[in-house]
Amino acid sequence: VKNIQAPSREDQLLDWLQGQLSGAGQQLLGDDAAVLRLEGEWAISLDSQIEGVHFPADLAPSIVARRLLAVSLSDLAAMGALPRYAFLALNSPSSFDHKEFFRAFLEACGGYQLVLGGGDLATSASLCTTLTVVGARRGRHRWLLRGGARVGDRLWVGGTLGESAAGRLLIAAGARWDGESRPELPARFSRSPEASSAAARAVIRHLAPRPQLQLGRWLAQQPSGGVLDISDGLSLDLSRLCRESGVGAQVERRRLPLPRGFRSLCDELGRQPTQLALSGGEDYVLLFSLPVDQEPPPELGCFAIGATCAARELSLRSGNRIEPLLARGWDHLAARGGAGPGNPEA
Amino acid sequence: VKNIQAPSREDQLLDWLQGQLSGAGQQLLGDDAAVLRLEGEWAISLDSQIEGVHFPADLAPSIVARRLLAVSLSDLAAMGALPRYAFLALNSPSSFDHKEFFRAFLEACGGYQLVLGGGDLATSASLCTTLTVVGARRGRHRWLLRGGARVGDRLWVGGTLGESAAGRLLIAAGARWDGESRPELPARFSRSPEASSAAARAVIRHLAPRPQLQLGRWLAQQPSGGVLDISDGLSLDLSRLCRESGVGAQVERRRLPLPRGFRSLCDELGRQPTQLALSGGEDYVLLFSLPVDQEPPPELGCFAIGATCAARELSLRSGNRIEPLLARGWDHLAARGGAGPGNPEA
């Protein structure tokens, strides 16, 4: 029992948080730093999620918490790492509901077997969160690297493309989701059942991405291949895979995996489905290469989209027509508000 | 040579950054996560520094960079850890001078023998930075913990108190510093040489704190004692040391170490020197306890300020008068703008 009262709102919240934690986490919080016993090789990554940049200003704290975790763990999935520890910087307006955030955050951590190791709380004008995650390597698994693609590999993605970007456009147009019921679509959105079902799924896909940890673990058991996660758009992230591997790539347009009802949805949004799939970003599926004699198990839901090649350039094949594939997507340093030439909204 | 052109402003900056790095850092950047070989116990901590909260909006990127590092390393100093790796989240307006930031950041990292292991860049309306630092333990050194104080220990601080808070008040009143020349003081500030020298030092102390890594290393070689760094104010952080250790403490007012010229400066600012020393915050000196038969070497510049006691309460002794010491300081969750009851500006 601590006889001296928690002296500040911060200490009171930390006391409450200690009560929510079990075992390992409880031991780690409360000093100037967490002390971890770590043997061998570890993967460390961090991601920021900022109100008004990565998510709308009125998003429920529980959704912000789960999304932050998912986006950060997508990086560990892309390394083939097992989630172990998380360190959270949470900068929020003083009206922020910390308890809603932490309840959702800790519940999601439990599902990923991730331990909250420490954090930093501050008050700021708008919500700005950063999560550092530490992942382990299992037994004989390899680390998955961007530079592992070889000429002649087949290219794969871990799921459909463009849906998250469509969700972002819908949210910018007024769609909202409370994390439980069916998303509310923008008032002017058509009531075609196919497009509105696709729209509801897109909003959820954007706000509640799922890190492909299982696929990452499978890939970590394969002897070769390059891997990264698609956060900034297929074409942009593919150009990174190719640069690091010293190869080029050709993508087949007809093989781009589009979600169900996506064409109707894109009609409504006035967007080209292929463009969203190629450069919409925030898909959070893995993009990877494998030798042609290897295929991921069907239950992992992957799609072959093309192949790597010796010529160090990116191309898009549509039937017999081959055109350069421009590396476009989400440029984190381009100016916001649609003005950035690197961003697909521009 | 990467034949495929850097596809975005972000990739171009990362290419430039790779060129600035040597050895270890170069290896770590560029994948979805850094892979580190870590054996044994490690200390991990993180801190955010936010424009308008922790520093003024027009601060030079080089000063922001060095301050972020210093504040984060102060936590490692308080653990007795040796700095090893840093992971940076840098969220900034698109006009931000990343290269100025990184030049200063990497130069300072070199001085601390710290390797930049990874990071995340994003565009945001205002500057929001988070640094995660990883520290090692040397040979037989112990980790320094808040819970290590024992009844009857002497209490120490690693330097003068209140100066950083005075610097913050001066900056709020218009003082500015470019990182090199003498700070500019607010226009209405008196020209008494003593007060204005003290003011210039206070502005620098606030903007360029120095983590007490050497003191942390010395403490880590002593068999006992509780330690933390004073970030939120002596009285608030002392209450944390006492809560974790299950002790109380008495501070002697006349022993509070005030900087040179501090009383003149406080007169100008209309503040009580003792109040700033007790609860101003951001001192970034270590607060620690040691058995009475141990003293830090004089060259470390420490001051004995009181003692721990069995009664679990904090008190302040002024001559023969003993009064309760209220744990007041910087509450990270109190409302900003002077409205927070927990903050000394209120």
- What distance in Å separates the CA atoms of residue A198 and residue A205, rounded to the nearest whole number? 10
**CB distance A59 to A97 below 8 Å:** no
Residue B182 CB coordination number (10 Å): 13
**Residue that wins the pLDDT comparison between A3 and B250:** B250
Nearest by CB to residue A334, choosing from B9, B87, B240, is: B9
Residues of A in Cβ contact (< 8 Å) with B7: 235-236, 239-240, 327-329
Residues of A in Cβ contact (< 8 Å) with B9: 331-334, 342
Q: Give the CA distances from residue B41 to residues A243, B81, B141, in Å, rounded to whole numbers and listed in that order.
A: 36, 10, 11
Q: Is B98 on the interface with A (CB under 8 A)?
A: yes
**CB distance A106 to A20 below 8 Å:** yes
pLDDT of residue A341: 35
pTM: 0.92
Per-10-residue mean pLDDT of chain A, 346 residues long, equals 75 90 75 91 95 92 98 97 96 94 96 94 93 94 96 98 97 95 90 93 98 98 97 97 97 98 96 97 98 97 98 96 93 55 42
Q: Is A303 on the interface with B (CB under 8 A)?
A: no
User: Which pLDDT band, with edges at 50, 70 and 90, does B336 fall under?
Assistant: very low
pLDDT of residue B139: 86
ipTM: 0.91
- What distance in Å separates the CA atoms of residue A219 and residue A302, rounded to the nearest whole number? 12
**pLDDT, tens digit (0-9, with 9 covering 90-100), for B88-107:** 999 999 899 999 999 999 99
User: Which pLDDT band, with edges at 50, 70 and 90, does B330 fall under?
Assistant: confident
Inter-chain residue contact B48 with A248, CB threshold 8 Å:
no
Residues of B in Cβ contact (< 8 Å) with A232: 8
Q: Is B170 on the interface with A (CB under 8 A)?
A: no
Q: Is A331 on the interface with B (CB under 8 A)?
A: yes
Q: Is A313 on the interface with B (CB under 8 A)?
A: yes
Pull the structure tokens for residue B209. Answer: 């704190």
**Residue that wins the pLDDT comparison between A340 and B141:** B141
What does the angle CA B241 – CA B247 – CA B250 come to, to the nearest 5 degrees?
85
**CB distance A228 to A240 below 8 Å:** yes
Least confident of A20-29, B232-241, B268-277: A20-29
Nearest by CB to residue B35, choosing from A2, A130, A143, is: A143
Q: Could you tell me what percentage of chain A is helix, strand and coil, using 3-state DSSP and rounding each to the nearest 5?
A: 35, 25, 40
- What distance in Å separates the CA atoms of residue B306 and residue B97, rounded to the nearest whole number? 46
Q: Please provide the average confidence, as pLDDT, over all residues in chain B.
A: 92
Interface test mutation site (partner A, options B2, B3, B5, B8, max chain A beta carbons within 10 A) = B8
Interface test mutation site (partner B, options A12, A29, A32, A286, max chain B beta carbons within 10 A) = A32
A194/chain B closest Cα distance in angstroms: 35
Task: Convert A203-232 to b/e letters by CB count within 10 Å (16 or more is b).
Answer: bbbbbebbbbbebbbbbbebeebbbbbbbb
B157/chain A closest Cα distance in angstroms: 16
Q: Is B125 on the interface with A (CB under 8 A)?
A: yes
**pLDDT, tens digit (0-9, with 9 covering 90-100), for B172-187:** 999 999 999 999 999 8
